[in-house]
């Protein structure tokens, strides 16, 4: 969830292996890996978390998303089934 909206839904194995929403991707990138030989891309979200009382228009995550498009700023993406049993609310998918 991000600012009160479900952005991704899947079983945990699928979610951890292949996140489909940029917010989920950033959350998982922040989890420490106990093996120092494993390198993971660091995703640093820019900006501040918007107020949940006055969320941005369109996709609530667009102000911090590294893949933002013009459509994201005006149109809220629907939570759709992208792969069997894996749902995401993102215009990129």
Q: What is the mean pLDDT of the chain?
A: 94
| pLDDT per residue as tens digits for the range 10-29 | 999 999 999 999 999 999 99
> Following DSSP, what letter does each residue of 31-55 receive, concatenated?
S--S-TT---------SPPPPTTSP
Number of H helices, E strands in the chain: 2, 3
As a whole number of angstroms, the longest Cα–Cα distance in the chain is 43
CB atoms within 10 A of CB 65: 22
Q: Is residue 37 over pLDDT 90?
A: no
The band of 36, judged by pLDDT with boundaries at 50, 70 and 90, is confident
| pLDDT per residue as tens digits for the range 71-83 | 999 999 999 999 9
Mean pLDDT of 61-68: 96
């Amino acid at each position: 969830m991000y600012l009160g909206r479900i952005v991704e839904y899947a079983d945990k194995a699928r979610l951890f292996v292949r996140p489909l929403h940029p917010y989920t991707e950033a959350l998982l990138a922040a989890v420490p890996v106990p093996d120092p030989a494993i390198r993971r891309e660091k995703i640093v979200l820019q900006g501040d978390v918007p107020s949940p009382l006055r969320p941005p228009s369109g996709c609530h995550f667009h102000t911090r998303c590294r893949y933002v498009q013009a459509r994201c700023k005006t149109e809220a993406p629907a939570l759709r089934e992208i792969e069997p049993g894996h749902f995401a609310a993102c215009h990129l998918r």
